[in-house]
Copies of this chain bind each other. A is one copy, B any other.
Amino acid sequence: MASARRDPVNLLFKALRDPTRRRILEMLKERDLTAGQIGEAFAMSAPSISYHLDLLRHAQLVSSRKHGQFVTYSLETTVLDDSLGWILDLMKKGKKRK
């Protein structure tokens, strides 16, 4: 069993558990944003936002690139396939797939 600290599915659900992080993902769905722009939307210190962004990055839900002093974050949707598959599978209740 993949160690929980590295298991992508676990990291994903961990990342999605927090309302602030889900809000960040919703914002990034619309357009790429810098750390600063994301922070403006929350009544929270910059380091706290940085912490959430880092966690999202570890879950591979966002990517970041630096240009100058700025760091721009983008939504990465590919890893969402996993959780989608997991949930869809649960919903096929009883229909023993395999």
A94 within 8 A of B: yes
A20 to chain B, nearest CB (A): 10
A88 within 8 A of B: yes
Contact A77 B96 (CB under 8 A): no
Oligomeric state, in copies: 2
A26 within 8 A of B: yes
Which residues of the partner chain B approach A94 to less than 8 Å between Cβ atoms?
29-31
Contact B75 A83 (CB under 8 A): no
A80 within 8 A of B: yes
A92 to B75, CA, bound (A): 11
Given A10-B19, A16-B13, A17-B17, do A87 and B83 touch, yes or no (CB 8 Å)? Answer: yes
